[in-house]
Amino acid sequence: MALDQGTTSSRCILFDEDKKIVWSEQEEFPQHFPKAGWVEHDPMDILNSSLRVMYACATRMREFDAEAQVRAIGITNQRETVVVWDRESGKPLAPAIVWQCRRTADAMEALKADPYGEVIRKKTGLIPDAYFSASKLAWLLENVPGLRAEAEAGRACFGTVDSWLVYNLTKEKTHATDVTNASRTMLFNIHTLNWDDEILAYFNIPKAMLPKVKKSSDLYGTCGATVPGLDSVPICGVAGDQQSALFGQGCRQAGQAKNTYGTGCFLLMNTGEKAVDSQHRLLTTVAACIGDTVQYALEGSVFMGGACVQWLRDSLGILSTAAESEALAESVNDTLGAYLVPAFTGLGAPHWDPYARGALVGMTRGFRKEHLVRATLESIAYQVQDVVMAMEQDLKQAFAAEDSSEVPGLPALKVDGGASANRFLMQFQADILGRPVVRPACIETTALGAAMLAGLYVGFWDETTAASADAMEDTFLPKMEKGERSEKLAGWKAAIDGVIRSAKR
C-alpha cells in the first residue's frame, strides 16, 4: 500500500507482486490563502483525507478477496511543507505552511546576499529560498504565541508531512522522517547525514523538536487502530514525492534521470554515492537510503510545464481541453521560427531569474493559434533540455575532477506526470534532447516508489525484482537531424537571452 499525500489531494494505491495497480482511492482537501502569497493547509485535513483513502482501499481489497492482506505501507509526500504539533495530545499547534508559501521570501533573499548563504548551500545542497522548510519553521516559532517555549521544552514536534502522518498512523507514535525529506528542510547536512547544529542556531530552532532521521526503506512502526483492517501492518517506506518517483522509475545508476511533467517540471538525475556540488545552480539532494547505501541526486525545477497548456486553455481560451493541444500542434509543421519563453513567474533552473517575464518572439504574419500551441509545447521541452544539459555538465566536471575514466551520461529520459500523455511533446522532447524518452505503462511512479521501498523491507520484492524494468508503454526515439536540432536550440538560446537581458531588476 502506498499513501501518496500531495498538495491538493491524498491518494492511496494498492500494488500487487507484478507492480500492477489493484485499487486506487483519492480525495481532495481544502487549500487556504490567508494573505497574498501565503498558502496553508489544516494538518487535520491532511490526516483525515489520508485515513479515509487508506480505509477505502483496504475495504475494497477485502470485498474482492477476503483472504488478501496488506503486507506493508509506504508513504510519499509533498515536500518542504511544515507541520508542528503537541507531542502528548498529537494536536496541531498551527496551520501547516505549504511549500508554495512565500511569506518568508524577503528574509531568504537577504540570506542569499549574506556570505552564510553559501555555507548553507554547501552543507545542505540547497539554494536559500522560502521554498524550503527552515524559514517557515523559524517564522512559526516567532509568530505563534507560546510555541517557542513548548519547542524548547521538547513538547512541540516539527515535521514535514511524512512525519505528521507517521506519528499519527503508528501505534508507537513514532516521531521520525527519512533522509530524502530531511534533505529538503535546509536544516540537514547531506554530507554528515545529521541535523546541522550551526544552521539550527542560525535559524534559532530548538533541536528537541526535530524528528529522528531514518533510512528510506526502514521500519517506522506498525499501523494502529486509526485505520480498521490495517492494524499491525508495518510502515516501512518513506520518501519525498520526487525522490519516490525517481526510485519508482528505476533510476538507480549515476546518470539516470526522470522528469515529472506536472504543473511545473521536476527533473532529478541520480549521481550515485557522490553528492555533486552543482556549478549551474541546481540543487543537490538525497535520492534514497537503502541498507548502508546512500545515493544522491541533482534536481532542477521548471516553473511552467503543464501550466503553459492551462494558460492556453483558461486564460486565452484557445483550447477547450488540454488534450486538444496535441492535435493542434501536429496540424502545423513548425512554429514558423517563433519561440515562446513562458517566464510568467520568472525562470527556474538553470537560469534562476525571478525578474524574467514571458515573451513570444519571432512571429510573422502567417503565425496562427496552431503555431502558438506548438510553440507552447515546444517551450516545455526546451526548458527540460536546458536542465538536462546543466546536469550533465555538472556530472562531467565532478567526475573529471577525480580523473574518473567513466563519466556517467543520460542514456534515456524517463518520464511521468499528466503532460507525459501528450505524444507530440514526448516526441519533440526526444528530438531536442537527442536521446530516447521512455514513458512507463504505470505512470503512478511516485506511489510505486513508496510501495517498492516498503516492499523491499519486508521481502515482498527483492532488489533484483524491484529494480527490473517494467513493461514500457512507449519509447520515443529521436528523429530530428542534428543540424535542425542545433538550429532550433540556437534560436531558443537567443530567445532566452533576450528575455533575461530585458528583465527589469
Give the pLDDT of residue 306. 84
CA angle 244, 253, 413 (to 5 degrees): 70
Domain boundary pick from 162, 197, 214: 214
Among 194, 214, 234, identify where a domain stops.
214
User: Percentage of residues in the chain with pLDDT exceeding 90?
Assistant: 65
In the listed set 170, 199, 214, which residue is the last one of a domain according to the structure?
214
Would residue 391 count as lying in a domain? yes
Residue 418 has pLDDT above 90, yes or no: no
Cell numbers placing 294:
546512500
Mean pLDDT of 153-180: 95
103 and 50, same structural domain? yes
Place 408 in a pLDDT band, splitting at 50, 70 and 90.
low
**Predicted confidence (pLDDT) at residue 401 exceeds the cutoff of 70:** no
Do 491 and 444 fall into the same domain?
no
Asked, for residue 297, whether it belongs to a domain, the answer is: yes
Query: Comparing 220-234, 289-303, 465-479, which segment has the lowest mean pLDDT?
Result: 465-479
Residue 201 included in any domain: yes
Q: Which of 435, 314, 433, 444 is nearest to 380 (CA)?
A: 433
Residue 381's φ and ψ, nearest 5 degrees, are -65, -40
Q: Which residue has the higher pLDDT, 97 or 103?
A: 97
In a domain, 421, yes or no: yes
Least confident of 74-78, 198-202, 307-311: 307-311
Q: Are 364 and 409 in a shared domain?
A: no
CATH code: domain of residue 328: 3.30.420.40
- With b for 16 or more beta-carbon neighbours within 10 A and e for fewer, the 250-269 pattern comes to bbbebbbbbbbbbbbbbbbb
227: in domain: no
Q: In this structure, are 87 and 162 located in the same domain? A: yes
Q: Is residue 220 part of a domain?
A: no
Task: Supply the pLDDT for residue 406.
Answer: 65
Of 364, 262, 340, the residue nearest 303 (C-alpha): 262
Confidence (pLDDT) at 268: 94
Q: How many helices (H) and strands (E) does the chain have?
A: 16, 23
In a domain, residue 98? The reply is yes
Would you say residue 412 lies in a domain? yes
pLDDT at 212 over 90: yes
Q: Is residue 253 over pLDDT 90?
A: no
Average pLDDT on 173-188 reads: 96
| More confident site: 403 or 151 | 151
pLDDT at 144 over 80: yes
Is 256 found in the same domain as 205?
no
- Res. 162: pLDDT tops 90: yes
- Chain CA centroid to CA 447, Å: 12
According to the per-residue pLDDT averaged within each range, which of 17-21, 128-132, 332-336, 469-473 is highest?
332-336
pLDDT tier, 149 (very low <50, low <70, confident <90, very high otherwise): very high
Shared-domain flag, residues 413 and 357: no
Domain tally, the chain? 3
Which pLDDT value is given to residue 407? Answer: 61
Residues 398 and 338 in one domain: no
DSSP per-residue letters across 379-393: HHHHHHHHHHHHHHH
pLDDT, average across residues 33-44: 89
Q: What is d(CA 262, CA 142) in angstroms, rounded to the nearest whole number?
A: 34
Q: How far apart are CA 445 and CA 21, in angstroms?
A: 11
Residue 48: other Cβ atoms inside 10 A: 15
Do 310 and 188 reside in the same domain of the chain? no
Q: What is the DSSP letter of 164?
A: H
Task: Assess whether 295 and 199 both reside in one domain.
Answer: no
- Taking the C-alpha atoms of residue 343 and residue 322, their distance in angstroms, rounded to an integer, is 20
Mean pLDDT computed over 245-262: 90
H/E element holding 493?
helix 482-502
Mean pLDDT of 182-192: 96
Give the residue, 7 or 414, on which the prediction is more confident: 414
Mean pLDDT of 19-36: 88
Q: pLDDT > 70: what percent of the chain?
A: 97
319/420 same-domain check: no
Do both 359 and 466 map to the same domain? no
pLDDT of residue 468: 62
SS3 30: coil
Q: What is residue 385's predicted lDDT score, i.e. its pLDDT?
A: 94
404 has a pLDDT exceeding 70: no
pLDDT score of 374: 96
- What residues does 339 pair with on adjacent strands? 361
pLDDT over 70 at 160, yes or no: yes
User: Which amino acid, 125?
Assistant: G
CA 216 – CA 235 distance, rounded (Å): 11
pLDDT for 84 = 97
Please check whether residues 414 and 297 belong to one and the same domain: yes
Per-residue confidence (pLDDT) for residue 112, from 0 to 100: 85
Computed over every residue of the chain, the mean pLDDT equals 90
Would you place residue 12 in the very low, low, confident or very high pLDDT band (cuts 50, 70, 90)?
very high
What's the domain range around 270? 250-303+385-477
pLDDT digits (tens, 9 = 90+) for 446-489: 999 999 999 999 999 987 776 665 656 789 999 999 999 999 99
Q: Are 446 and 241 in contact (CB under 8 A)?
A: yes
Question: Quick one: average pLDDT of 74-79?
Answer: 94
Q: At what angle do helices 369-400 and 482-502 cross, to 10 degrees?
A: 90
- pLDDT at residue 469 in the model: 56
What are the pLDDT digits (tens) for 315-372? 999 999 989 999 999 999 999 999 999 988 788 888 878 788 899 999 999 999 999 9
